Amino acid sequence: MRTKIFPAGVLFAILSAPAAHGETFDYIIAGAGTSGLVLANRLSADPGTRVAVIEPGEDVRNNINVTDPALFTVAYGTSIDWQYSTTPQPGAGNRTLDWHAGKAIGGTSTINGMTYIRGDKAQFDAWEALGNEGWNWDSLYPYYKKAEKFTIPSTAQAAAGATYDPEVHGEEGHVHTGFPFSLVNGSFHEIATETWGALGYPFNEDVNTGNVSGFDAYPSTLDRDLNVRSDAARSYYYAIEDRPNLTLIKGTVKRIVWADSSASGQSNLVAKGVEYVTPGVELVQLTASKEVILSAGALRTPLILESSGVGNPTLLNNLGIETKINLPGVGEYLQEQPNTALVYSGTQDPSGTAPYATFTTAQDLFGDDKPAVKESTLAQIPSWASQVAAASNGAVDAANVEKLFRIQHDLIFEQNVTLGETLTAFSGGFFYSAMWLLLPFSWGSVHLTSVDAIDAPAIDPKYFLVDFDLDVQIGLGRVAQKFFYTEPMADLVGGSVPPTDVLPLNATDQQWTSYISDTVGPNHHALGTASMMSRELGGVVDSKLRVYGTENVRVVDASILPLQFSGHLTATLYAVAERISEMMIKAA
């Protein structure tokens, strides 16, 4: 492979970031990640609009651990991983858990699992009930398609189980999606389909129609013909990096710089720019004539807001930061999914890739007991809300949390959206299942720990704070376990191996609880920490993604997503960023 030659303008921008001191741009974007690069691409399409993107991560276009779809997880623990850790988690044996996030041009899209799954329609329709007029499945759907460049499966891929609905995919977008050429051949797909069917999970021809239930083979964000990951940088940045009105600056945004309120004449705060830290630890200010856009992700955007005096006054006061805007929802409502795995030895070792997912509903999980579970959990919602509010040290209001929980409860038990996901895979003679609760009621937080700790968030997902989450995780574990003991899959399984061998087929709730506590880890799908919903409910941004109390600060990343959903974040982040970019351009 030939070495990529950088356009001179881009190389200059990267190497001379300190020289940008005092420069003025129309838009400053904090973070060249999944969402930020969509905005950079769309906003800079007008040659008269000057856009600066500030990003601490490196260029990874030639990093084999990024480009090769088969090397997922190899980049973990390297220089392109932020290598965060959680606070000690009581629900995980009081362990401190490693948390991976992409530190690169392209953000976490450079190191994620590349899964392209949108979610259930009703979950996005629920956004409107939170005060977000115009945000629903139908309004997002065109932007899913706009972002996507789907590759139709080959004859061999179709024979290996790749199916799709041509009506729901885009063909002219920036993000390549499709199935890998390494899709497993032979009989394994039929065996998996038949086994999940025997357990009551029918085959879903296309998981991206707005109904994810059942068993499916899902597409990935990859360029099939080149066998290369289609991350945000490859999709939205590399082809336009030499635009003279687009500047990429290496640095870490620390805070928003506010204009003098008396001089601005505005009742809301006006951002005049940002302060960022260069690789040489110099503080530099840039000026934005139009807007500052935070796209640093669900774990970092709240830190920038708090550093800027936007957040919970009690927390800010403890950090010695003057409160500019009282928004106690900043950093709260963190919703993350707990991931647990099972491992079994195989009597065969199929070759290839198996992008298989099974989505479980409350009806699947509880069966005839669903009505009773519905009523008992409904009665517990006030106490769950009180638990979450108490754990936030008063940052969130129990009555608001209760309203949100009732919406989520309705999705699960009345609208029968999926509440659990199980992946089925194999490698090196072993079969694996990874499963996770999709819609947790245990909500946590992420916050700044000191004014100088912009790279060290206090991440507290509060796994299993609410007992029902553990009940669902146990139920999903039992379903995944049963898959390996059901024909015809059982014929391929030799037996459970450590750490799974501590779980007999008839394991008790206590055995499952111990196993989950000892092995659970992050699913890396954090969202909600700058939620798009009414300010009264604890929201941080409005339906135009503008931070409450500001004239010209927006947040566009996973932190604005108000509720968890049955998809993987990337597809929806691209759609949201495409939609808000269009809204901004039309309003300009």
DSSP 492: G
Residue 231: partners with Cβ closer than 8 Å, 6 or more residues away:
66, 106, 109, 110, 221
Beta bridge pairs of residue 342: 433
525 catalytic? Reply is yes
The upper half-sphere exposure of residue 403, i.e. CA atoms within 13 Å in the direction of its Cβ, equals 16
The DSSP symbol for 387 reads H
Q: Examine the residue annotation and report whether 447 is marked as an active-site residue of this protein.
A: no
116, 177 in Cβ contact below 8 A? yes
Query: Around 158, how many Cα atoms within 13 Å sit in the side-chain half-sphere?
Result: 7
The secondary structure of 459-473 as a DSSP string is EE--TTSSHHHHHHH
Beta strands in 79-184 (DSSP E): 84-85, 98-99, 148-150, 175-177
CA distances from 573 to 54, 87, 216, 367 (A): 19, 26, 22, 34
DSSP 557: S
Q: With both helix axes pointing from N to C terminus, report the angle between 509-519 and 467-484 in degrees, rounded to the nearest 10.
A: 100
Burial string for 196-229 (b: 16+ CB within 10 Å, else e) reads: beeeebebbebbbbbbbbbbbbbbbbbbbeeebb
The conformation of residue 171, written as its DSSP 8-state character, comes to: S
From 100, 409, 524, 568, the catalytic residue: 568
Name which of 182, 165, 186, 184 is nearest 222 in CA terms. 182
Bridge pairing between strands 148-150 and 98-99? unpaired
Phi, psi of 511 (to 5 degrees): -65, -40
The single-letter code of the amino acid at 531 is S
Buried b / exposed e across 286-299, counting CB within 10 Å, b at 16+? bbbebbbbbbbbbb
Active-site amino acid positions: 525, 568
